[in-house]
């Protein structure tokens, strides 16, 4: 009984993992099929509001994966109307868009050193009639960024990793893969530029939960009408709120490290 997962550390050989401890954060590095994966594990967001260490470490690791110069497109993938899937859009709301701040405006505001950043929350097929991948591909073609950062909610095989794990990867995104509803990929191959994915696991396969509780396969009991179910924590609203903020501040710090947290808050108001 394996269950679906988006976390590379759950479907790769642990002997290939490099693990290091940095304060309250456990950082795991691994390579799989030529792509890099970095996983940061911390105390649950719902229990510990302070995520400063996580933001700092995530920003540091993210910066290593990005080209040093050029416009970056930040994309928040997911459905705002479904709380466990709202991580990406809520993160995008808190990322500082700077691509439009240039010339005299940048000079007068003292923001001439800002890196150009564009932000997009493309929504979902059922609301827009367009695949997120199609929208992102069109935006990449239009603004020609040097890289894309794509954030999305993830699935895990472990209940213990929900809401306390951040994964970064150079492999890009396969939206919906973790819950059995795969959508078009967002990768270097499909978009033509590096795609750095980031996410937090918010759901676990119900069949795995039942197996852990009952010690056996629950079969159709957790798959009514043949549709597999997923489970999310009771405190999912808090998890999404704090998780989205942590990812957004990590992105802000990675892309514009000359600004302080107070600067981002002021500019986002």
Instruction: Let me know if residue 224 belongs to a domain.
Output: yes
pLDDT band, very low/low/confident/very high, at 70 (cuts 50, 70, 90): very high
Q: What number is the average pLDDT over the span 17-43? A: 93
Element holding 165 (H helix, E strand):
strand 165-169
2: in domain = no
Domain containing residue 88: 8-256
Element spanning 119, H or E: strand 117-120
In a domain, 265, yes or no: no
For Cα atoms 22, 27, 32, give the angle at the middle one, nearest 5 degrees: 160
CA atoms within 13 A on the CB side of 104: 0
Query: Are β-strands 18-22 and 25-32 bridged in parallel, bridged antiparallel, or unpaired?
Result: antiparallel
Q: What is the largest CA-CA distance in the chain?
A: 66
Q: What is the mean pLDDT of residues 143-169?
A: 94
User: Is 145 contained in some domain?
Assistant: yes
Judge whether 196 and 42 are in contact, CB under 8 Å: no
Residue 200: φ, ψ to 5°: -130, 130
Residue 268 inside a domain? The answer is: no
Indicate if the pLDDT at residue 130 is higher than 80: yes
Residue 164 to residues 43, 54, 121, 246, 255, Cα–Cα distance (Å)? 6, 10, 23, 11, 23
Let me know if residue 60 belongs to a domain. Answer: yes
**Considering its fold, how many domains does the chain have in total?**
1
Whether pTM exceeds 0.85: yes
The CATH number of the domain holding residue 210 is 3.40.50.1450
Of 221, 176, 197, 158, nearest to 84 (Cα)? 176
Q: What is the mean pLDDT of residues 62-84?
A: 96
Report yes or no on 262 lying in a domain. no
Residue 100 lies in a domain: yes
């Amino acid at each position: 009984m394996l269950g679906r997962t988006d976390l590379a550390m759950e479907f790769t050989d642990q002997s290939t993992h490099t693990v290091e401890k940095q304060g309250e954060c456990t950082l795991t590095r691994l390579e799989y099929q030529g792509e890099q994966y970095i996983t940061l594990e911390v105390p649950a967001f719902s229990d510990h509001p302070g995520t400063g260490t996580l933001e700092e470490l995530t920003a540091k690791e993210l910066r290593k994966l990005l080209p040093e110069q050029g416009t970056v497109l930040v994309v928040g993938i997911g459905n705002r109307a479904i709380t466990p899937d709202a991580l990406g859009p809520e993160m995008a709301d808190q990322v500082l868009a700077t691509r439009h701040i240039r010339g005299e405006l940048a000079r007068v505001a003292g923001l001439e050193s800002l890196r150009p950043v564009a932000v997009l929350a493309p929504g979902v097929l059922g609301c827009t009639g367009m695949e997120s991948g199609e929208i992102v591909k069109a935006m990449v073609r239009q603004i020609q960024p040097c890289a894309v950062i794509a954030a999305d909610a993830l699935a895990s095989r472990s209940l213990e990793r929900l809401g306390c794990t951040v994964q970064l990867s150079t492999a890009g995104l396969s939206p919906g893969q973790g819950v059995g509803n795969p959508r078009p990929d967002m990768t270097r191959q499909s978009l033509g530029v590096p795609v750095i994915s980031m996410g937090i696991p918010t759901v676990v396969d119900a069949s795995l939960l039942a197996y852990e509780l009952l010690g056996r396969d629950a079969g159709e009991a957790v798959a009514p009408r043949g549709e597999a179910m997923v489970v999310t924590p009771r405190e999912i609203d808090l998890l999404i709120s704090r998780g989205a903020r942590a990812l957004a501040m990590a992105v802000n710090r990675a892309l514009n490290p000359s600004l302080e947290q107070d600067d981002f808050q002021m500019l986002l108001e």
